[in-house]
A and B are shown apart, each in its own frame.
Chain A
Amino acid sequence: MIAAGALLLLLVLATILHSHILVGRSQTIARENQALVARLGATDIALFTEARYTRHPSQADLHTPFQDHPGAFEHFPSGSLIGPPPRLRDTHARLDRATEVPD
């Protein structure tokens, strides 16, 4: 039992070693991908391709999740997995303050 515990502990430590080895190996790929981002001018990752605002969450405009009608519930599954960009939470306030002529 103690041997099994020691083995498990060793395996957990091995995951840390494994992660370090893989980080070293993946640096070339990371550099290539960064170059690709610069070449394309890409802004988002392609993890959720089902809706515009989940494919490009950073480019989504303020009301996209509610495009069907105001107050609509989110209907794309991935829209409920990721939160709205932090930018969208405070844009209204910032724009209001930036307005030169009061409304």
Chain B
Amino acid sequence: MPVWIERQKYLIDFTLGSLGRRKARNLALFLVYALLVFVLASVFLFSHALRHEARLLLSGAPEIVVQRMVAGRHDLVPEGYLARLDGVRGVTGKRCRLWGYYYDPAVAANYTLMVPLGEEIPPGKVRVGEAVARTRGLNVGDVLSLRGHDDHPNPFTVHGVLSTESALLSADLLLVGEGDFRRLFGIPPGQCTDLVLEVRNPREVSKVADKVVLTLPDTRPILRDEILRTYASVFDWREGMVLVLLSGAVLAFIIFAWDKSSGLSAEERREIGVLKAVGWETADIMGMKFWEGFLVSAFAFLVGYLLAYLHVFVFSAHLFEPVLKGWAVLYPRFELTPQVDGFQVATLFFLTVMPYAVATVVPVWRAAITDPDAVMRE
């Protein structure tokens, strides 16, 4: 065993010297490789941390949301529906929820207006989210005027800005009182956006949802579990951005590896010929080339991964912002809590490092089994 280790040490030593002789070529290879790992690792780390954050935040979301559907669309619910749910056993709490959207032409942004369930907002006051305050330049005491459904301006005094730490949840929120909300949108008393239900036994939630549909056939219940599953599949690897990035990067990598495996440069073939002529065995040459591929790819992986970690968790995934922002004006400034999944890192390692290391061995084996004289004459 010690002999084997010594042999590998000498092989690595020789490989490093050989890499040093082709500095420019290997540096270019290393940079492209590190960039590939950086992009893939950034997406993996970002989406994993975001999924975790969403799951953590939304574990406190309403147990059941009941929406009324009219002609296939979400419509206002009469408050009387709450009384019709009295007969559904297992429901411990029923509330009417008021929320909606407001388009602000001044900054071309969509706000989410909401009447908090567990907090009284005084009339004429508003609490704004971090991105709204930033975009409109609002501070406590400033006046924000919103145009109502009847075209009348409704002035609101800002009496609080929601914390930056909650930006991922509240960036675009405007929290107003019930009376103000109804006046702004012209929603008459006795109507609400949707209903939220609390259920005593978590195992009964789907049964309660079935009973709700039977009692109120024009409604659609949305369970907390479904909300959580929605966010579990956000940025799923099979979908959207990740798939596009992954397929592009994997294709580029296949071309890259194919180019490498389809042939060696004349200089490399000559080197192999010389090594064989001076007594190197085929296994030694293959070992040397394996180490060459492994060292380049492992270094590129480590550098790419470290840069991705810094990008996502220290610089708040700044490069992704234009992609995620799309046409939106309001974008939350948030810091994700690092969630490093060992399995994910290992998957990324094997997807990027191993294929390259293996791809370099095949052409070397082809060159190494030919006669040294013939290799050198080529």
Contacts and interface: CB of A to CB of B under 8 A. Distances in A.
Interface of A: 1, 4-5, 8-9, 11-12, 15-16, 18-19, 22-23, 26, 29-30, 32-52, 54-59, 61-63, 76-78, 80-83, 85-87, 91, 98
A52 B112 CA distance: 9
A55 B74 CA distance: 15
A86 B25 CA distance: 47
26 contacts: A4-B299, A8-B303, A15-B309, A15-B338, A19-B339, A26-B337, A34-B60, A37-B58, A40-B117, A40-B119, A41-B61, A42-B61, A43-B58, A43-B62, A45-B57, A45-B168, A48-B324, A49-B172, A58-B227, A63-B73, A78-B328, A80-B241, A81-B241, A81-B323, A81-B326, A87-B226
A45 B309 contact: no
B337 A1 contact: no
Contact of B116 (A23, A41, A82, A91): A41
Interface in B31-81: 50, 53-54, 56-62, 65, 67, 69, 72-74
B156 interface: no
A46 B110 CA distance: 11
B101 interface: yes
A38 B61 CA distance: 6
B72 A61 contact: yes
B302 A32 contact: no
Interface string B171-189: 1110100000000000000
A59 B169 CA distance: 15
Contact of A59 (B67, B163, B231, B299): B67
Given A12-B306, A38-B60, A23 B326 contact: no
Nearest to B326: A77
A20 to B, nearest CB: 8
A77 B240 CA distance: 10
Contacts of A29: 165
A90 to B, nearest CB: 11
Nearest to B61: A43
A43 B302 CA distance: 38
B326 A48 contact: yes
A35 B60 contact: yes
B82 interface: no
Which of A30, A43, A80 has the most C-beta atoms of chain B within 10 angstroms of its own C-beta? A43
Which of B131, B306, B326 has the most C-beta atoms of chain A within 10 angstroms of its own C-beta? B326
Contacts of B165: 29, 32-33
B340 A86 contact: no
Given A40-B114, A58-B222, A61-B73, A15 B340 contact: yes
Contacts of A42: 58, 61, 114, 169-170
A11 B306 CA distance: 7
Which of A44, A51, A63, A76 has the most C-beta atoms of chain B within 10 angstroms of its own C-beta? A44
Contacts of A45: 53-54, 57-58, 168-169, 231
Contacts of A37: 57-58, 60-61, 169
Contacts of B220: 61, 91
Given A46-B170, A58-B222, A85-B226, 6 more contacts: A23-B337, A33-B57, A39-B119, A41-B116, A57-B234, A61-B74
Nearest to B331: A49
Contacts of B227: 43-44, 58
Contacts of A49: 109-110, 112, 131, 171-172, 328-331
Contact of A46 (B69, B167, B238): B167
B235 A85 contact: no
